[in-house]
Amino acid sequence: MTQVPTGTHLERPGASLAPGLSAVLLGDPRRRRREKLIAAAFRAAAAFSILVGVLIVVSLLGEAVSFLRSIPLRSLWTDGWFPRRGMFDVKTILFGTLIVSVIAMVIAAPLGIGAAVFLSEYASSRFRRTVKPILETLAAIPSVVMGFFALTWISPSIVEKLMGGNSIFSMMAAGIGVGILVTPLVASIAEDAMHAVPQSLREASYGLAARRRTTSVRIVMPAAVSGIVASLIVGLSRAVGETMVVAIAAGASGGSLFTVDPFGPGQTMTGAMAALATGSDQVTGNSAAFQSLFFVGLLLFGMTLVLNLISERFVRRMRAKY
Amino acid sequence: MAVTTTDVVRRNLRRQGTDWGGLLFEGALLFALLVSLGFLIILVGQILVQGLALLAERGTSFLTSQSSSLPGRAGVSQALVGSLMLMLFVVATAFPLGIAAAVYLEEYAADTRFNRFITVNVRNLAGVPSIVYGLLGLAIYVKAMSGFTGGASVISGGLTLAILVLPIVVITASEALRAVPQGIREAGYGVGATKWEVVRSHVLPAAAPGILTGTVLSLARAFGETAPLILVGAVTGVFFTGSGSLVEKFQGAYTSLPTIVYTWSKLPQAEFQKLTAAAIVVLLVMLLTVNGAAIWLRNRYERKW
Amino acid sequence: MVKRKFVMKVAAALSIALVAAACSSNSDPSGSSTTSGGGSVVVSGSSTVQPISSLVAEKFNASNPDVAVKVDGPGTGDGFVLFCEGQTDINDASRPIEDSEAADCQKNGVNYTELKVGLDGITVMTSANNAAVTCLTKGDLYSLFGPESQGFTSWADANALAMKQGGKGQFPDAPLDITAPGEESGTYDAFIELVGIEDMALADKVPADQAATLRPDYQSSPSDNVIIQGIEGSDTSLGFVGFAFADQAGSSVKKIEIDGGSGCVTPSQDTIADGSYPLSRSLYIYVNNDKIKSNPALKSFVDFYLTADGLASVNEADYVDLPADQIQATKDAWAQASA
């Protein structure tokens, strides 16, 4: 690149042409000041979101630390989660969350990905246009409604009749309810991923005389694998954080012994938090039971944060390909 | 995508007949889709059967009565008012803040590490479970700011929901802004407009349908939330608001439609189960209306670039 | 730009509609809501007494629409915590205040008046399909619920302990699915007190700090409806609730007779009223004395509570009325406190 001779007007356009010209080009100082103010206001709004994140961590950490300091650490490994008795067995609620989430994903993964493959590879565009909004409506159902449905229909008709469970409150009923809620989420993200696979890949496959089924399974799905994995992780994250279905249908609101029986009642992390809140929610935070609320919240926040970061990575890989 | 020529040719060449494996596979996939939809149909059917009977019998008195411990008199009027008041807070707080943050991230922000951090942070916040926002609301609004909010009041509930919805508003508004072609902005700069002037007069109006759709959908999401409100102190018992001033009303007890569904589902009398179903019908009707409005708006005002 | 204006107009219209709704959302015909209202009463505490207080609140609201009333039922124990911090005006209680709670109240300078308002009988229940169990003694109850019963998953496991504590035993070998109130509930404490769990436990060498508790390994819930649902959900279930909830529970659950030493007695309005049902207890409301002076709405609320109309709520909520002399004693206590 040619060296710009110093001192000429090319170095700083308009600077030496005429002293007034630069002022004219830059414009009215009031306008410029307003611009700066507006830009600053917008930046503040964006920075507010960081404030929210910081506040969450700070408020959770503060109470959680004070909780851990006020209880004998032995009580984190006892027979069960009974906060009012000072028994804060963490593995009870962790296993509860695990069981409910696994059941939910066992339902949501095949149903969601199956529906996604059908919509993306087999359905006509008219079919897709009518069915997709219905599927999205399923995603919009509030979880409290699903909780009521889980208790009044899923539990008696499916868990007790078909599966032979004998308790009306069970982690199985809650898990199925959460699974139904998560299915459209998985289907939607997986379908977007598969739809984004270029048509040329499919045509190349058909050109080699492959069947539709082979193309879908051997070509399209592997090509969309990052998106499919992302959909499963997002679904898992949603299942872990689901509260109302568990609060209504899984029972054990006063506490639960450590159990791995999905056909009985059980306590998840979110259910434990909801149970604590409806008891002493207005107590001024001095009892260990109340503070355990924040401790569990911190655990939950950490878990979903890790899951979200992992899914972010997969989503970015999915977007980067095409 | 229809049957490809390969299938037809191969079939004719081999005179094989139908591809059973393929049909089975397709059938299984369709089954998966139908089961998902089937649950929705059963859910709606169940709720309607119980709820419509009660609504037919009680009529509009269900919508205008206050909550009561007697099932014959209980209604959702307080819940409706509470929900609407909460939505007012969400609209007033989260929407301007969220849209402003999106404008910054899309229009003003250079690709610095700080700005990328904000974007990642917003995405993570969108994935945080709603009950954690309830904890935040409890710690900050109900306890720390109780002088201003009056403790467990509508203000606390509304602000908690606003923070919950904020990341979603930022993300949807960002996507709407990103969809506006760069040419429009460049045309504005070309005639000497400042960045704010370009944004205000060209970019925002062009992105408005998308922003509007996104914000209405996030409003629908906030409408259906229960867990954070329970933590922040929405009333699950019976209450009457008396005749205080408007400020006192905002600082006083409240409930919301999903909260009353939760409360009633736990009451012993069998009639309350029917009342729960009826309240769910009202809730679903309102949600469908809002979602439908969002989709209609999107279809009506959407611009294809 | 046009869209934004449209959105803002819609938002403005919505806000105006909301303000109008909020101003007229109660039955105040004159619509005057800019003056500070007629006061507020906050009631919390026992979920057993909550139906009574809710009914009283509704009747009170019909004649005093300008008073804000809130009735909640997180549990007697939780309610006392709030009450003794001065955060509530009235605490519903299904058991008398404990010494530790009274000490808390005194420490925080909260003076209270105890008013007995009704009678209840803790009703032990099982599934209607459970034909084997119809009558239990206190020893039986101890063997099924007490602190030494942790780990009993079948009714038959409790037989030995029941015999030791003077019960009848002879339980079938069937799954023991217990759903009952937890520790936040006054019904829990009252049950322990009335069955005499602590004495039986101490006699059996249970350490003192566990003697007055029940086994921890059952499905506990503060919500009586959840308890009823749990009992309905299993054929060999067991649980206990306040009488009103038991009575309204429907035909898939049944009440168990209790033998307190003089034969099996079924809980009913009559047997609770005359005290022949062994698990009868009193229901109370505790009123914050200092707030009586500063909050005229509170005084008129409690005045109304103790009128014939107010106390009729006890029966309407399916509990048992106090005998006339105890009602008079309550009224006298209130008259003295509110003078």
Residues A266, A288, single domain; the answer is yes
Cα–Cα distances in angstroms (integers) from residue A264 to residues A165, C130, C238, in the given order: 8, 20, 15
Give the tokens for residue B21.
């494996």
Residues A159, A57, single domain; the answer is no
Please identify, among C243, C260, C278, the residue that sits at the C-terminal boundary of a domain: C278
Q: Quick check: is C290 in a domain?
A: yes
Residues C86, C140, single domain; the answer is no
Instruction: Give the domain ranges of chain B.
Output: 81-255
- Domains in chain C: how many in total? 2
Q: Quick check: is A274 in a domain?
A: yes
Q: How far is A64 from chain C (nearest CA, A)?
A: 21
- Domains in chain A: how many in total? 2
Contacts of A among chains (3+ CB pairs under 8 A): B, C
Inform me whether the C-beta atom of residue C62 falls under 8 Å from chain B C-beta atoms: no
Per-residue pLDDT, A259:
81
Q: What phi and psi, each to the nearest 5 degrees, are found at residue B22?
A: -65, -40
Q: How far is B247 from chain A (nearest CA, A)?
A: 21
Q: State whether B140 and A117 contact (CB < 8 Å).
A: no
Q: How far is B252 from chain C (nearest CA, A)?
A: 9
Residues A45, A182, single domain; the answer is no
Query: Which residues does B300 contact at the CB level (< 8 Å), separation at least 6?
Result: B209
Residues A155, A171, single domain; the answer is yes
Calculated CA dihedral for residues C293, C299, C303, C306, nearest 10 degrees = -90
Q: Quick check: is A22 in a domain?
A: no
Q: Is the model more confident about B37 or about B4?
A: B37
Per-residue pLDDT, A147:
92
Q: Quick check: is A12 in a domain?
A: no
As a whole number of angstroms, the distance between CA B225 and CA B179 comes to 30
Per-residue pLDDT, B303:
65
Residues C192, C221, single domain; the answer is yes
Inform me whether the C-beta atom of residue C10 falls under 8 Å from chain B C-beta atoms: no
Domain span at A52: 27-70
Residues A97, A177, single domain; the answer is yes
Q: What is the pLDDT of residues A160-200, one digit of tens each?
A: 778 877 777 889 999 999 999 999 999 988 988 888 888 89
Residues C243, C303, single domain; the answer is no
Q: What is the pLDDT of residues A253-293, one digit of tens each?
A: 767 778 888 888 888 999 988 887 765 444 444 577 788 88
Query: Residue B214 above 90 pLDDT?
Result: no
* A26-45 residues touching B, CB cutoff 8 A: 27, 31-32, 34-35, 38-39, 41-43, 45
Inform me whether the C-beta atom of residue A300 falls under 8 Å from chain B C-beta atoms: yes
Inform me whether the C-beta atom of residue B96 falls under 8 Å from chain C C-beta atoms: no
Inform me whether the C-beta atom of residue A145 falls under 8 Å from chain B C-beta atoms: yes
Q: Quick check: is C12 in a domain?
A: no
Query: Residue A14 above 80 pLDDT?
Result: no
Residues A60, A193, single domain; the answer is no
Which is nearest to A110 in space by CA: B36, B217, B142, B300?
A: B36
Interface test with A, best of B201, B226, B267, B287 (most A CBs within 10 A): B226
Contacts 24+ apart (CB under 8 A), C189-195: C189/C76, C189/C77, C189/C95, C189/C98, C190/C94, C190/C95, C190/C122, C190/C281, C191/C122, C191/C145, C191/C240, C191/C279, C193/C95, C193/C281, C194/C122, C194/C278, C194/C279, C194/C280, C194/C281, C195/C138, C195/C141, C195/C142, C195/C145, C195/C279
Per-residue pLDDT, A104:
96
Q: Which position has the token pair 């009223």?
A: C273
Q: State whether C78 and A283 contact (CB < 8 Å).
A: yes
Task: Provide mean pLDDT across the span B276-293.
Answer: 89
Per-residue pLDDT, B1:
52
DSSP string computed for A4-38: PPTTSTTTSTTTTT-HHHHHHHH--HHHHHHHHHH
Per-residue pLDDT, C25:
41
Q: What is the pLDDT of residues A218-255, one digit of tens each?
A: 888 888 888 899 899 989 999 999 999 998 888 767 67
Residues A173, A39, single domain; the answer is no
Q: Quick check: is A286 in a domain?
A: yes
Contacts of B among chains (3+ CB pairs under 8 A): A, C
Per-residue pLDDT, C35:
32
Residues A33, A123, single domain; the answer is no
Q: State whether B231 and A277 contact (CB < 8 Å).
A: yes
Per-residue pLDDT, A5:
52
Inform me whether the C-beta atom of residue C228 falls under 8 Å from chain B C-beta atoms: yes
- Chain B contacts of A50, Cβ < 8 Å? 117-118, 121
The shortest CB-CB distance from A281 to any of B109, B118, B233 is to: B233
Whether residue C228 contacts residue C166, with contact meaning beta carbons closer than 8 Å, is answered with: no
CATH of domain B81-255: 1.10.3720.10
Q: Is the dihedral of CA B137, B142, B146, B152 positive or negative?
A: positive
Domain CATH code at residue C195: 3.40.190.10
Low-confidence ranges of chain C (pLDDT < 50): 1-3, 5-6, 20-36
Cα–Cα distances in angstroms (integers) from residue C300 to residues C51, C63, C114, in the given order: 20, 11, 17
**What are the b/e assignments for C26-39, b being 16+ CB within 10 Å?**
bebeeeebeeebbb
Residues A39, A53, single domain; the answer is yes
Residues A192, A284, single domain; the answer is yes
As a whole number of angstroms, the distance between CA B121 and CA C92 comes to 46
Please identify, among A16, A50, A70, the residue that sits at the C-terminal boundary of a domain: A70
Which is nearest to C128 in space by CA: C20, C10, C24, C231?
A: C231
Per-residue pLDDT, C205:
86
Residues A35, A157, single domain; the answer is no
Per-residue pLDDT, A96:
92
Domain span at C156: 123-278
Per-residue pLDDT, C32:
30
pTM above 0.90, yes or no: no
Q: What is the pLDDT of residues A51-110, one digit of tens each?
A: 888 888 888 898 889 888 888 888 888 878 888 777 888 888 999 999 999 999 999 999
Residues A87, A140, single domain; the answer is yes
Residues C258, C147, single domain; the answer is yes
Which is nearest to B231 in space by CA: A59, A256, C230?
A: A59
